[in-house]
Amino acid sequence: MKTTANDATVLGVVETVIYRLARPEDGEVLAGLDGSFTTDSVFEVTMTDEGFRLCQTLADPPIHKAFPDDDDSEDDTGSPELRRTVVAFDGNELCGFVKISFAPWNKRLTICDIEVAPAWRGRGIGRALMNHALDFARERGAGHMWLEVSNINAPAIRAYLRMGFVFCGLDISLYDGTESAGEHALFMVRWLH
């Protein structure tokens, strides 16, 4: 898994972290990344007569969430020119990754998954990965970037807001019948024009 800055798949280097396109042999290490989080607040969804209201509230006690293993079957569909996974490595240590896909029909770049290893959080890895997604979006002529996030993942939501994303919708039933039942899917968008 050795990577050098001269590698043709390298997209950028920041200090000791190399950002590059994922390779098939990265699959196991990507699957093993700890994407869990702990939060002392959530974005509570309340139904009103007019629709819905979002309100950040304290979570007492704090919530720790470890995500179940993803079913990557949908990540393998579609044209490779419309999908990309960017990884961040410091030597042989995976710092994080972002999986993205582009839909030409509505010019949407979807952030399918973005994870940063706990030891690397708060150090600019997530922002750098999102910037690589933004580069891909611009290459493809995307009009916006879109993502889905659980209402209890307040640390990620706050990061997305700082990166220019805004709320654009929600689904209160998306996680029904899963380990995340009771959580609500929030949709966020970042306009590129």
Q: Per-residue pLDDT tens for 120-130?
A: 999 999 999 99
Alpha carbons 171 and 23: distance in angstroms, whole number? 33
The mean per-residue pLDDT over the stretch 27-56 comes to: 94
Report H helices in the chain. 27-31, 125-140, 154-162
Residue 14 has pLDDT above 80, yes or no: yes
Residue 5 has pLDDT above 60, yes or no: no
Q: Per-residue pLDDT tens for 89-112?
A: 999 999 999 999 999 999 999 999
Domain borders along the chain are: 10-191
Residue 70 has pLDDT above 70, yes or no: no
In the numeric block, the tokens 């190399």 are attached to 18
Fold of 10-191: Aminopeptidase (3.40.630)
| Angle, alpha carbons 10-11-12 (nearest 5°) | 95
Question: Would you say the C-alpha torsion 131, 72, 76, 33 has a positive or negative sign?
Answer: positive
Residue 1 has pLDDT above 50, yes or no: no
